[in-house]
Amino acid sequence: MATSVITGGAGFLGSHLCGFLLAQGHRVICLDNLDTGTLENIEHLRSEEFEFRHVDCVDQLEVTEPVDFVFHLASPASPIDYLRLPLHTLKVGSYGTHHALGLAKFKRARFLLASTSEVYGDPLVHPQREDYWGNVNPIGPRSVYDEAKRFAEAATMAYHRHHGVATRIVRIFNTYGPRMRLRDGRVVPAFIGQALKGEPLTVFGAGQQTRSFCYCSDLIEGIYRLSQSDYPAPVNIGNPTEFTILEFGKLVLQLTGSQSQIIYKPLPQDDPKQRRPDITKARKLLGWEPQIQLAEGLAKTIEYFRDKV
């Protein structure tokens, strides 16, 4: 039986990955400091094969048993969280990644880094291919996340080149689904929560910026396939169907049947104007592409949030 360590395992994507790996027959050790993750996310996973440890990977990571895979997902991921926790976000991307890589090296385990489309910043190349180096403001408010993840990618490649660790890097584009926090500030829970409560939808700027939304089960399947591959360079995983934020808001209103108005708020600094993954690599290397279209995934997510508002 393979043993997987998942940092950030009680978070939105971490908890889905824990469940997926348990279903694949892995023993799962879930590590989380519960800053943005919750015990509620992993309650249903309780079993012999699942263990939760309340640790912060910024501190030393100690695991005594043999480990086959280290999935390093720990980090605040929503703009309001990483703006609230700027230093911790930098630390988890740097010290946390260093510790997770050290654990993988010591255990001779395979390591997978959860990176992000934010490494492309406010991209000047569209759609974003993995060989684009990005357009990141290194001192702007988002830089604590963007640069931490860019450092994490650099550290991962250095462990691969200099220590021979089997590493994988997934660049995750906007992903949504059940277990996002209603108040995490990201556009999907924000709009769904507002629509269900009959409050106005807060569109930032003119709503002409674009995002491409991937349903969580598609994303987890892509991460798993990448972990099983032998490809060490970064791979984009995301849904390439692109929407403006205004179009997205109107879809949420339609699917919830809400009468909410749309109001406009200032665009946050350095908010990327466009984002859409080029998934040619994932298609070719992993035979992966998303299966769930936005309307279908949103309907499931709306159901999840209905009794939480």
Residues that bind ligand UDP (CB under 6 A): 79, 174, 185-187, 190, 202-204, 209, 211, 245, 268, 271
Please identify, using beta-carbon distances, which residue of 51 and 271 lies nearer to ligand UDP: 271
Contacts (Cβ under 8 Å, ≥6 apart) of 255: 295, 298, 299, 302
Question: Which C-beta is closer to ligand UDP: that of 105 or that of 250?
Answer: 250
Between 202 and 229, name the residue whose CB sits nearer to ligand UDP: 202
Q: Which lies closer to ligand UDP via its Cβ, residue 104 or residue 214?
A: 214
- Give min distance, CB of 189 to ligand UDP, in A: 8
Which residue's CB is nearer to ligand UDP, number 86 or number 268?
A: 268
145 a catalytic residue: yes
The distance of closest approach from Cβ of residue 174 to ligand UDP in the complex, given in angstroms and rounded to an integer, is: 5
Catalytic residue among 82, 120, 145, 159: 145
State in angstroms the smallest separation of the CB of 175 from ligand UDP. 10
CB of 48 to ligand UDP, least distance (A): 37
Nearest-approach distance from CB 112 to ligand UDP, in angstroms: 21
- Catalytic residue ranges: 145
